């Protein structure tokens, strides 16, 4: 497989992941962190870092909007729930780093 095709396939997989996360608003970021060690915010930070590697200044809020499909504050107001005590406990004891 040539590098261009590989890059195109990776980009398509990324777009599919982002679209899937946009549709699954029932899945909270804390659940993603507890189960997979990353969340939507991590993904937006990775996107921003990739932009920086290319010399592109991309503010956090814009990177989050790309991942969430709307401004982050709007997504939080519509979809984010208060973490349960069990979720918070799992997060505080999980061997992961946010971001």
Span 25-35, pLDDT tens digits: 999 999 999 99
Place of tokens 């990739």: 50
CA angle 41, 46, 49 (to 5 degrees): 125
pLDDT tens digit sequence for 20-58: 999 999 999 999 999 999 999 999 999 999 999 999 999
Q: Residue 91 above 90 pLDDT?
A: no
| Alpha-carbon span 91 to 69, nearest angstrom | 25
The average confidence (pLDDT) of the chain is 93
pTM (2 d.p.):
0.86
Among 1.10.3340.10, 3.40.250.10, 1.10.10.10, 3.30.70.2860, what is the CATH number of 3-93?
A: 1.10.3340.10
Instruction: Give pLDDT, residue 99.
Output: 52
């Amino acid at each position: 497989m040539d590098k261009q095709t590989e890059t195109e396939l990776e980009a398509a997989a990324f777009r599919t992941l982002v679209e899937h996360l946009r549709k699954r608003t029932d899945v909270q970021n804390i659940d993603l962190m507890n189960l997979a060690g990353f969340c939507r915010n991590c993904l937006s930070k990775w996107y921003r870092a990739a932009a920086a590697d290319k010399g592109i200044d991309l503010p956090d809020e814009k990177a989050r909007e790309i991942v969430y499909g709307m401004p982050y504050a709007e997504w939080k107001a519509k979809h984010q729930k208060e973490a349960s005590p069990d979720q918070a406990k799992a997060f505080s004891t999980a061997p992961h780093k946010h971001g």
